[in-house]
Amino acid sequence: MMHLGLSGTGPAPLPVADAVARPTAQQPDWPDPAGVRAVREVLRTAPPLVLPAEADRLTARLAEVARGEAFVLQGGDCAETFAGNTESHLRGNLDLLARMAAVLTRAGGLPVVRLARMAGQYAKPRSAAVDAHGLPVYRGDMVNGLAATSAERMPDPDRMLRAHAAAGVAMNFVRAWTGGEVFTGHEALVLDYECALLRPGPPGDRRPYSGSGHFLWIGERTRRLDGAHIGFAEVLANPVGVKLGPTTTPEEAVEYVRRLDPDGVPGRLTLVSRMGHRRVRDVLPPIVEKVTTQGHQVVWQCDPMHGNTFVAPTGHKTRRVDHVLDELAGYFEVHRRLGTHPGGAHLELTGDDVTECLGAGVGEADLPHRYETACEPRLNTRQAMEVATLLAELIRSAPRADERPATATGVLTGCPHGTWTDQPRRPHPGSGDR
């Protein structure tokens, strides 16, 4: 039984096998169990894509974010594809992330930690098992193919080997192009892949490190507290995140903190709100208040994309840039009133000139022109830079760490939750659907 392992004073982590023996969700229905076992064995001996020292360096940078001294900008494709793993595409996404970070640093006044949604985002959770044609749904290039044929949609465990190879190519390019200034992250979804890429840390560490990425997060569809994905995140030494949708309760959020950050390590845990622009101002405040009373320094990050998706009359999934901007504005309002640090944004974007989201020059009639995503709609360069401009204004107007009031117990002062919904909404400089 594997039992690798992060130094600390909390209870010893569960053995990995026990942690992932809990109920699972969103896993591939592999047709060939023997083939899966063979692939896992290959991955167990393959070189890791990242090293423990790199993951620890990211934890230290995220600790700065948790203390209110920096801002984390995370972005990239909704779903990476093998075909899209090209120099021009990777460079375009990294350059866009760098341009956005420059705007935030220059106008917002805080250092920016860049975290690319890259080198591992090859699997996606889905809301249904089959698509409109009755075929198994596309679950990302790590699992099956996008083409709507029975052969392509059959889950193939050998694709995990292709995903590892493609991620290695992307990781090498990230390091070469950015000089090691950019970290990578992806959703920890396919547990056969993730568990096979666990590696021991330095002597004395009680937890294994993921060799698949610097930062892993657990998604909204797999965050059940008694599930295998949260169990997997518990045992990791890497910094981890959890997506919190609008049904998340304050009590659940506190339990994530207790389970995933038992040693109270700043930067270890990122809580990513993805409430939707209509819900964020109502749902997020009690969660922030409840978690803050526990005294842990978590990173608060906003994903303004996933709660704002809808189907346009053209039949395309899309998002309005105005809704993205409004959720970010609401997220900052919540943290400003509660005296906590709005620490980051998590965006789906691309440096390619796509027409997938509405606004900043893209109307509904434009959606079919360059709708190229393998899954969910992404911001193009113009839209992403508009978001960066708003973010810079919001960061500049937010109180700095040394300006935030706090009580002796560490509970930050702010608006009482009982009167929260009476607070007026702050207008933001939106784009409209021009």
CB-CB contact of 165 with 12 (8 Å)? no
Crossing angle of the two packed helices 87-103 and 158-178, in degrees rounded to 10: 50
Measured distance CA(113)–CA(134) in Å, rounded: 43
428 known ligand binder = no
CA-closest candidate to residue 259, choices 286, 289, 227: 227
Rg (CA), the chain: 21
357 known ligand binder = no
pLDDT of residue 44: 98
Measured distance CA(351)–CA(277) in Å, rounded: 25
274 known ligand binder = yes
Q: How far apart are the first and last CA of the chain?
A: 58
Measured distance CA(307)–CA(254) in Å, rounded: 22
348 known ligand binder = yes
pLDDT of residue 3: 31
64 known ligand binder = no
Cβ-proximal residues to 119 (8 Å cutoff; 6+ apart), any chain: 49, 80, 167, 168, 170, 171, 174, 184, 186, 213
78 known ligand binder = yes
List the pLDDT tens digit at each of the 434 positions of the chain. Answer: 233 334 444 555 668 889 899 999 999 999 999 999 999 999 999 999 999 999 999 999 999 999 999 999 999 999 999 999 999 999 999 999 999 999 999 988 899 999 999 999 999 999 899 999 999 999 999 999 999 999 999 999 999 999 999 999 999 999 999 998 999 999 999 999 999 999 999 888 889 999 999 999 999 999 999 999 999 999 999 999 999 999 999 999 999 999 999 999 999 999 999 999 999 999 999 999 999 998 889 999 999 999 999 999 999 999 999 999 999 999 999 999 999 999 999 999 999 999 999 999 999 999 999 999 999 999 999 999 999 999 999 999 988 777 766 532 333 434 433 334 434 444 444 444 33
Q: What is the maximum alpha-carbon separation in the chain? A: 62
pLDDT of residue 415: 40
356 known ligand binder = no
Residue 69 DSSP SS3? coil
Domains of the chain: 36-422 (3.20.20.70)
Give one word for 8, left, alpha or beta, with left for phi > 0 and alpha for psi -120 to 50. Answer: left
β-pair partners for 318: 310
pLDDT of residue 411: 39
* H or E element, residue 103: helix 87-103
Please report, for residues 77, 84, 92, 315, 325, the alpha-carbon distance to residue 352 in angstroms, rounded to integers and kept in the order given: 10, 11, 7, 22, 21
Measured distance CA(50)–CA(56) in Å, rounded: 11
302 known ligand binder = no
Please report, for residues 13, 134, 335, the alpha-carbon distance to residue 299 in angstroms, rounded to integers and kept in the order given: 22, 41, 12
CB-CB neighbours of 403 under 10 Å:
9
Measured distance CA(201)–CA(51) in Å, rounded: 9
